[in-house]
Amino acid sequence: MKIYINGKFYPKDEAKVSVFDHGYLYGDGIYETLRAYDGMVFKAEEHIARLFRSAKAMELKLPLDDNGIYKAVNDSMRENDLTDAYIRISVSRGPGEIGLDPELCPEPTFVIIAKEFIDYPPELYAKGVKVAVVQTRRNHPEALDPAIKATNFLNNIFAKMEAKRAGAYEGIMLNHAGYVAEGTICNVFIVKGGRLITPPLIAGILEGVTRDLVIKLAKGLGITVFEELFTEEQMRQADEAFITNTTMEVMPVTQVDEKTVGSGLPGEITRRLARAYREEVGRCLRAR
């Protein structure tokens, strides 16, 4: 494996950043996760645009423009001889003296990790997964803007540890007001009475690229979509539920805590959207 760091490729064992990097010292950085299908980086434009929005929000100047980032991503795939790939772009404030002042870091550290994508076990999609509503709350949006995809993940790590203790695949975090916000690495959807519902951005969530695509696909299928607040009990009582992110796509949820969701199997709307997602990937592949 070769890792891209600031314009050069290094073997995995030689890919290193400074212990004085503020990403390491303070979690001062941003990232994006992308997925490539048969050599095509899916929704690359949307992910790179969000990276720039995150950078602007934290006053971090990226060392490459959007075309440069796209080229570096594709170069990373080529260097590693990949077609189906997991890709992570990480940008930290860079190395500098110890202290919180961003001006201590003259240049950011820009890293791309590209590795072979390993498919999720098929039984997860066939049977669905268990999620647990955790006690760890999502960061208050007035404390940390959820629109920033930050490398500071301690909030989510605490939630993940809770979920693992509960024997769950994923942890679902509530916001400061007690409404469902998002998972540790995903957006959340439920279906009730034929209505597809997902928390609105004002719930304090990241605007997921996959979330946006699922909403668009649902509308194209004539499925009514509502971005509205809902409680953990409403999630337990849903007819269907699923979670989304770039790598897992549309993952069915068939158990919330100890409560079975719907019939206990992935529901019709969930299955339709999972198929529509893969069809969209296929359409983009054909349009290359």
Q: What are 4-40's pLDDT values in tens digits?
A: 999 999 999 999 999 999 999 999 999 999 999 999 9
**DSSP characters over 157-209:** HHHHHHHHHTT-SEEEEE-TTSSEEEESS-EEEEEETTEEEE--GGGT----H
Task: Using pLDDT thresholds of 50, 70 and 90, give the confidence band for residue 258.
Answer: very high
Average pLDDT for 92-108: 98
β-pair type (195-198, 225-227) = parallel
Task: Indicate the SS3 state at residue 106.
Answer: coil
Domain architecture of the chain: domains with CATH: 2-116 (3.30.470.10), 122-286 (3.20.10.10)
The pTM (predicted TM-score) of the whole model is 0.96
**Average pLDDT of every residue of the chain:** 97
Q: Can you tell me the distance from the alpha carbon of 62 to that of 177, in angstroms, rounded to the nearest whole number?
A: 35
Q: Which residue has the higher pLDDT, 288 or 184?
A: 184
One of 71, 149, 160, 216 is an active-site residue; which one?
149
**C-alpha 85: how far from chain center:** 15
Task: Kindly report, residue by residue over 105-153, the tens digit of the pLDDT.
Answer: 999 999 999 999 999 999 999 999 999 999 999 999 999 999 999 999 9
Q: Enumerate residues 6+ apart whose C-beta is below 8 A from 251.
A: 120, 124, 125, 128, 129, 186, 242, 243, 244
Report whether 188 contacts 241 (CB < 8 A): yes
Is 56 in the active site?
no
- Residue at token pair 């796209």: 70
The pLDDT value given to residue 96: 98
The pLDDT value given to residue 288: 85
Whether 159 shows a pLDDT value over 90: the answer reads yes
The pLDDT value given to residue 105: 98
Looking from the CA of 124 toward its CB, the CA atoms found within 13 Å total: 16
Report whether 200 contacts 216 (CB < 8 A): no
